[in-house]
Amino acid sequence: MLGACGVVFSKSPVRAAMSLVLNFLVLAALYFVLGAELLGISQIMVYAGAIMVLFLFVVMMLQQGPETEKAHGILEGRVVPFTGGAVLLASIWFLGIKPLIGIAPSNVDSSFGSPQAIGYYLFTGYVWPFEVASILLLVGIVGSIMLAKRRLK
């Protein structure tokens, strides 16, 4: 919760990005606790690593100067967002989480979520979507290189 508050309330975009990294790492820790090691490692490598580097590059490229806006009171202009957030949080709790409390999990195979099981299903049952995604990524990479070459000339 502190990391999420840091993302929302931080005035510095770099500090907000670092708070988002903290959120990503906590989410990865939750994946590890639940026994989904592959998802935890993927969360760290993809989101806390690559995506945050991209965010920080964008923040650095924008080169924002010192803020020239006047200082506001702590609740000035924030009453509606706080109220909306409280309503959203209450609805998530009462409609989504509270009905699930006490429900016993179904019998799940012990290999569920393991790298071996994910690899097996990825390359047997889901090989076509996997290959389509890889071709789309390749087309995107080649297209970005072509656009960059055109701008450099």
pLDDT at 68 (0 to 100): 45
pTM of the model: 0.55
CB-CB contact of 14 with 46 (8 Å): no
What is the C-alpha to C-alpha distance for residues 131 and 138, in angstroms, rounded to an integer? Answer: 10
Residue 142 CB: number of other CB atoms within 10 A?
10
- Tell me the two tokens of residue 152: 């450099």
Alpha carbon distance 141, 47 (integer Å) = 19
pLDDT digit string (tens) for the chain, length 153 residues: 888 888 888 888 888 888 888 888 888 888 888 877 888 888 888 888 888 888 878 777 776 655 545 555 555 566 777 787 788 888 888 887 777 777 766 676 777 777 888 888 888 999 999 899 999 999 999 998 888 887 766
Task: Specify the CATH class of 1-63 in words.
Answer: mainly alpha
Closest CA to 121 of 13, 4, 27, 38: 38
Identify the pLDDT of residue 93: 83
Summarize pLDDT for 109-123 with one digit per residue, the tens. 777 777 888 888 888
At 65-77, the pLDDT tens digits run: 555 455 555 555 6
State the Cα–Cα distance between residues 16 and 2, nearest whole angstrom.
11
